[in-house]
Amino acid sequence: MSSTVKLMHDSALIFGRCVREARRQPTLAFFAPTFLSVAIVLIFEAVYGSIADVPGFPTGQFIEWVAPGAVFLTVFLGAGFSAGSVVRDARSGYNDRLRLLPTRPAALMIGRLGFDAVRALPPAAAVLGVSLGLGATNHGGVAGFAGLLGLSAALAIAWNGIFYLTALKTLNPAAIQGLQPIFMPIVMFSTFWVPTAFMPPWYENVASRNPFTPLVDAGRSVLLGATDWGSIRVSLLALSILAAGTYLLVIKMFTAMVKAD
């Protein structure tokens, strides 16, 4: 078996193990991020839905504007699940057993990252479905649906790097849970809720410099059928920088933890 084939085989085994862990904890893995995101959509649509009637609002309905951000919200609310398993493996002695096996550390991370990307899809699809049921329209068709889910998967991989880094640095599940609220200022100071034209100048300046703004704008554009390739490129660049900045350290720390003596 070649090294590449073995890497993919071992990664698939780790992916399968992550799937089994998620099936044992479906509330944390899938239900919680879906339920909370749906609740936020329902509440804000009921309370602020009439803002779409204000002259100059870009979409006919508020739900059309907020739906892409709500889809990405599932990623933020579900972050840290796989990072928690890293802590459990380190504390249970599972990583020590790996030292006896010819398993490359890269396979352990590839399998987990693949699972992070796939796990983001069911909650994202569910929230998008609820948004469509509330009146949002997917003008982008299949391409719009796939594009939004693809951006969600990319966000899941990049954002979870922060949680993996914290998990390996502290080996403390409480530290992972404590990171959850950090998404709030990122979401609030963006175009998640309203366009920049509706913001006071200081708020607009912050939102315009927020790396989450191009991502939510990109997701909105593919759903509206008017793909903004500039926002897509900027958002993918920002996600790539975040991923590189965290996973370079994660890989180094994780390799030191599981490599054979």
Asked if 220 and 75 touch (Cβ cutoff 8 Å), the reply is no
For the chain, list residues with pLDDT below 50: 261
194: containing domain: 3-258
pLDDT at 14: 86
Burial class (CB in 10 A: 0-12, 13-18, 19+), 234: middle
Those residues whose C-beta lies under 8 Å from the C-beta of residue 131, and which sit 6 or more positions away, are: 41, 63, 66, 67, 70, 71
Instruction: Give the span between the Cα atoms of 144 and 124, in whole angstroms.
Output: 13
Instruction: Give the span between the Cα atoms of 167 and 83, in whole angstroms.
Output: 6
pLDDT at 261: 45
pLDDT at 85: 87
Does this model's pTM top 0.85? My answer is yes
pLDDT at 1: 62
Query: Helices 141-170 and 212-223: crossing angle, nearest 10°?
Result: 150
- Segments in 134-181 forming alpha helices (H): 141-170, 173-178
Domain total for the chain? 1
pLDDT at 104: 74
